[in-house]
């Protein structure tokens, strides 16, 4: 029997359709990775395609690794020539060869989010920007959105018009790109944008890769942004053998720039495209799929499909409504403990999914008290820890001395007695001479005003130069150990507790192990390991890639983090209108907002394989205030016959509480309805005065205006940027100095004018 006979009819059709543009609409759990790997095998074995001409591209290292492994197992000899990679890794490999044609050095550094924040902070300081009025984060968000749409700093500046805020963003964008270029660095958005720029600027390079990748397959296509779409479209422009696989019902990353219209409008871009639907699910029971289908069917902007399975009907959905969030956490904790104790499942079978990270706290507290092992996905990334960042910056400086951020981070780690005034003079000299900070350090003896301080800089420069000379002769683990021993790095933590030092030492040991495994893996794939390659690999690691399989602990994560995963037992927590979906989403003028939230719910439901439990609370503590919420509309969209055991109490059982819930919910909705915007507090009071005859009073105003400085009990000081009148309350938007932009009800926020 052929390996292709094991596929269902629609999967076979997807595998056999090898020429021209193909859109595979693959529902959750429908075996899309299986289709992609079998399609690769079919191209090689039956169509005679050279593996060298096949490319499979996806989003995460985890997905790429799984696909790589399956291709190797299925294809065997020659499989190593198939290019299986993530978007960012693909672009890094291309840019490492050809970015010099755009004026960069090929040994560029990749900046993570912390590096970007540091650079933006320096730029705002240099440009005398008041970061209380213009947050660094808002600049970075605007720049990222522009790059997602392939808008250069010059184009951005041309389109700002008379908008003062956008003019300021344009100036910062230009300076940001200038500093990245000077540091020979790219951020993550640049990796895609610069590759597209390279293809547009150099037809020779483009033709080289179009010839190389004659057959392209793209996984998770619904998550692509405009830049990624243009990259794919450009690469496929010559042979047009483009196969994209995705599910519009699982498009949940709009906030990251994902454009759902890439998949919805695929046939408009490629009128001759073949569309194939994979609707048979191999993961979940039919009851779980029926619940998912009933929810997502309420979306209008989607391609119609319905999941089905040959699996058992399974248990009905368990819905539990509690009085408080504390009761909810108690129930889930007790239920997991009971099921494990009775042998129904292990801890590793269970996952708790929620809308926001803040919801994990109550579950964590209960798990600690109950002795239940757990892991929160999305905590501090391993590579963001202090000791790891320090050592990586040493490696970056050795590899690429033009990276000013890396050099400045480690020049006094451990302490070398080089003062801030000395570093400021070096930086000024580097700015005046338009050179890197490290090159200025090498010329410290010639910098006016440094005097004896230059003698403290020389040992650092000599150390980096010596390390550079050792790179060709030392393995990466040896290089790291040499850095640790020569600098006596751990002395930096001599004032910390023994436990803290031990934890840092363990993290450092893990980094050394990572370096060793990178070298081993590289040689196994026929590539020569390098310092640049190692830094590139750790820069492209995502949080979800660190989720271990086979470990016996309960996983807690947001619904966004859960995409692509599956668990036998899933607990969807906090399913309340106002939480999931949020009030802002419910009352948004854009219907696509609620549709994206519904897709997120669909993703959560379809993570469950055997048992799905949905929980909600009538009242919950949010930002120090008690909030009353109704059961989420997404729960109400599931037919009653799909529910088994429920604890939803009738209104007559708790009339007082239900009345408070209904009243609080009504007021919150009214407050968020977009009534005429009052741009200033003066206008608000004018409106209140005009309504005085009908019972309005000066209390209708919040007591502050747009532009005023206010203080919040938790978030500290911030600037009021907008006030919306509605119902009996005001929706106030505040840009807090520390916590960024927050929207809140005035009556709950209790803001005090500074």
Residue 168 has pLDDT above 60, yes or no: yes
* Whether 30 contacts 280, CB under 8 Å: yes
Kindly list the distances between the CA atom of residue 14 and the CA atoms of 4, 19, 34, 38, 564, in Å, as whole numbers in the listed order: 11, 11, 11, 10, 21
pLDDT (0 to 100) of residue 679: 34
Instruction: Compute the 3-state secondary structure of the chain and give helix, strand, coil in percent, each to the nearest 5.
Output: 55, 15, 30
Q: What is the DSSP annotation of 323-354? A: EEHHHHHHHHHHHHHHHHHTTS--GGGEEEEE
Dihedral angle over CA of 365, 370, 375, 381, nearest 10: 40
pTM: 0.75
Mean pLDDT of 54-65: 87
Rounded CA-CA distance 240/565 in Å is 31
pLDDT (0 to 100) of residue 310: 94
* Whether 493 contacts 501, CB under 8 Å: yes
Rounded CA-CA distance 538/529 in Å is 13
Give the side-chain half-sphere CA count within 13 A for 355: 22
* Whether 717 contacts 710, CB under 8 Å: yes
Residue 656 has pLDDT above 90, yes or no: no
Residue 302 CA to its chain's centroid (Å): 23
pLDDT (0 to 100) of residue 670: 58
pLDDT (0 to 100) of residue 573: 96
Residue 574 has pLDDT above 60, yes or no: yes
Q: Give, for 169, the enclosing helix (H) or strand (E).
A: helix 164-182
Q: In 3D, which of 379, 19, 452 has the Cα closest to residue 215?
A: 19
pLDDT (0 to 100) of residue 409: 92
Give the confidence band of 671 by pLDDT, cuts at 50, 70, 90.
low
Choice among 92-101, 171-180, 485-494 with the minimum mean pLDDT: 485-494
Residue 10 has pLDDT above 90, yes or no: yes
| Burial track 445-468 (b if 16+ CB lie within 10 A, e otherwise) | eebeebeebbebbeebbebbeebe
pLDDT (0 to 100) of residue 548: 58
pLDDT (0 to 100) of residue 449: 84
pLDDT (0 to 100) of residue 590: 85
End-to-end CA, the chain: 77
Q: In 3D, which of 136, 232, 205 has the Cα closest to residue 176?
A: 136
Per-residue model confidence as pLDDT tens digits over 95-143: 999 999 999 999 899 998 889 999 999 999 989 998 888 888 889 999 9
Residues noted as catalytic: 32-33, 219-220, 250, 607
* Whether 601 contacts 560, CB under 8 Å: no
Per-residue model confidence as pLDDT tens digits over 693-751: 333 333 457 888 887 888 887 677 888 888 877 555 677 888 877 667 777 777 767 78
pLDDT (0 to 100) of residue 652: 43
Mean pLDDT of 518-528: 84
Percent residues over pLDDT 70 in the chain: 89
Most confident of 141-155, 501-515, 550-564: 141-155
Residue 78 has pLDDT above 70, yes or no: yes
Q: Which two tokens stand for residue 180?
A: 């990245």
- Residue 414: asked if its preceding bond is cis (omega within 30°), the reply is yes
Per-residue model confidence as pLDDT tens digits over 233-244: 999 999 999 999
Kindly list the distances between the CA atom of residue 401 and the CA atoms of 105, 407, 435, 460, in Å, as whole numbers in the listed order: 11, 7, 11, 13
Q: Which two tokens stand for residue 463?
A: 């150390």
Q: Which two tokens stand for residue 300?
A: 């209008």
Q: Which two tokens stand for residue 258?
A: 């994902």
Q: Which two tokens stand for residue 593?
A: 């907002």
Round the average pLDDT of the chain to a whole number and report it: 86
Q: What is the DSSP annotation of 233-302? A: HHHTTTT--EEEEE-GGG---GGGT--THHHHTHHHHSTT-EEEEE-B-SSS-HHHHHHHHHHHTT-SSS
Rounded CA-CA distance 603/600 in Å is 5
Residue 692 has pLDDT above 50, yes or no: no
For the chain, how long is the longest CA-to-CA vector?
86
Residue 550 has pLDDT above 80, yes or no: no
pLDDT (0 to 100) of residue 526: 79
* Whether 351 contacts 569, CB under 8 Å: yes
Residue 90 CA to its chain's centroid (Å): 18
Choice among 86-95, 96-105, 443-452, 615-624 with the minimum mean pLDDT: 615-624
Residue 348 CA to its chain's centroid (Å): 24
The residue that leads in pLDDT, 522 or 28, is 28
Q: In 3D, which of 557, 542, 189 has the Cα closest to residue 382?
A: 542
Based on its alpha-carbon atoms, the radius of gyration of the chain, rounded to whole angstroms, reads 28
């Amino acid at each position: 029997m052929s390996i292709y006979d094991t596929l269902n009819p629609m999967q076979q059709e997807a595998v056999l359709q090898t020429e021209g543009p193909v859109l595979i609409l693959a529902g959750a759990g429908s075996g899309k990775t299986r289709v992609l790997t079998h399609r690769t095998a079919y191209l090689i074995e039956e169509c005679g395609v050279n593996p060298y001409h096949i490319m499979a591209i996806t989003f995460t290292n985890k997905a790429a690794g799984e696909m790589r492994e399956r291709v190797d197992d299925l294809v065997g000899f020659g499989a190593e020539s198939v290019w299986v990679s993530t978007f960012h890794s693909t672009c890094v490999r291309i840019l490492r060869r050809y970015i010099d044609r755009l004026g960069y050095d090929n040994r560029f550094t990749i900046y993570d989010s912390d590096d970007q924040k540091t650079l933006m902070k320096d730029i705002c300081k240099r440009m005398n920007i008041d970061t209380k009025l213009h947050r660094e984060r808002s600049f970075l968000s605007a720049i990222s959105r522009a790059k997602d749409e392939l808008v250069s700093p010059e184009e951005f500046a041309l389109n700002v018009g008379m908008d003062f805020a956008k003019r300021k963003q344009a100036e910062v964008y230009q300076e940001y790109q200038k500093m990245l270029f000077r540091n020979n660095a790219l951020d993550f958005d640049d990796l895609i944008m610069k590759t597209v720029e390279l293809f547009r600027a150099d037809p020779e390079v483009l033709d080289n890769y179009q010839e190389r990748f004659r057959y392209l397959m793209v996984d998770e296509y619904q998550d692509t942004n405009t830049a990624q779409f243009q990259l794919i479209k450009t690469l496929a422009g010559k042979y047009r053998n483009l196969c994209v696989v995705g599910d519009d019902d699982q498009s949940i990353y709009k906030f990251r720039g994902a454009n759902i219209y890439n998949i919805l409008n695929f046939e408009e871009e490629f009128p001759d495209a073949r569309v194939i639907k994979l609707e048979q699910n191999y993961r979940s029971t039919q009851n779980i799929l029926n619940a998912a289908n009933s929810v997502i069917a309420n979306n209008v902007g989607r391609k119609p499909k319905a999941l089905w399975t040959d699996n058992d009907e399974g248990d009905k959905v368990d819905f539990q409504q509690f009085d408080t969030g504390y009761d909810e956490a108690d129930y889930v904790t007790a239920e997991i403990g009971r099921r494990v104790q009775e042998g129904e499942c292990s801890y590793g079978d269970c996952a708790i999914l929620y809308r926001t990270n803040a919801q994990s706290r109550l579950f964590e507290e209960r798990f600690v008290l109950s002795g239940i092992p757990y892991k929160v996905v999305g905590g501090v990334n391993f590579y963001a820890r202090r000791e790891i960042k320090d050592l990586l910056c040493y490696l970056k400086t050795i590899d690429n001395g033009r990276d000013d951020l890396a050099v400045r981070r480690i020049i006094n780690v451990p302490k070398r007695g080089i003062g801030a005034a000395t570093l400021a003079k070096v930086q000024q000299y580097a700015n005046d001479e338009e050179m890197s900070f490290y090159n200025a350090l090498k010329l410290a003896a010639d910098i006016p005003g440094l005097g004896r301080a230059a003698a403290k800089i020389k040992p650092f420069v000599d150390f980096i130069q010596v390390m550079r000379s050792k790179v060709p002769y030392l393995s990466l683990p040896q290089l790291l150990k040499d850095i640790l021993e020569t600098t006596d790095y751990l002395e930096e933590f001599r004032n910390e507790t023994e436990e803290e030092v031990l934890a840092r030492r363990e993290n450092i040991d893990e980094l050394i192990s990572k370096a060793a495994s990178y070298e081993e893996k590289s040689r196994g794939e026929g590539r020569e390991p390098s310092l640049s390659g190692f830094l590139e690999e750790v820069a492209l690691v995502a949080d979800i890639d660190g989720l271990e399989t086979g470990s016996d602990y309960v996983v807690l994560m947001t619904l966004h983090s859960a995409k692509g995963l599956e668990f036998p037992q899933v607990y969807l927590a906090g399913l309340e209108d106002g939480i999931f979906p949020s009030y802002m989403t419910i009352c948004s003028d854009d219907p696509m907002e609620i549709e994206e939230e519904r897709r997120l719910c669909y993703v959560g439901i379809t993570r469950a394989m055997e048992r799905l439990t949905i929980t909600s609370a009538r009242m919950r503590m949010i930002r120090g205030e008690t909030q009353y919420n109704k059961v989420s509309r997404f729960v109400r969209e599931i037919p009653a016959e799909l529910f088994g055991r429920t604890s939803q109490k009738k209104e007559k059982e708790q009339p007082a509480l239900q009345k408070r819930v209904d009243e609080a919910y009504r007021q919150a909705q009214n407050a968020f309805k977009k009534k005429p915007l009052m741009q200033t507090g003066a206008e608000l009071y004018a409106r209140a005065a005009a309504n005085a005859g009908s019972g309005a009073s000066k209390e209708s105003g919040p007591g502050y205006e747009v532009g005023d400085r206010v203080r919040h009990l938790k978030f500290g000081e911030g600037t009021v940027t907008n006030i919306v009148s509605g119902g009996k309350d005001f929706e106030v938007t505040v840009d807090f100095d520390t916590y960024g932009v927050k929207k809140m009800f005035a009556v709950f926020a209790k803001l005090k004018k500074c």
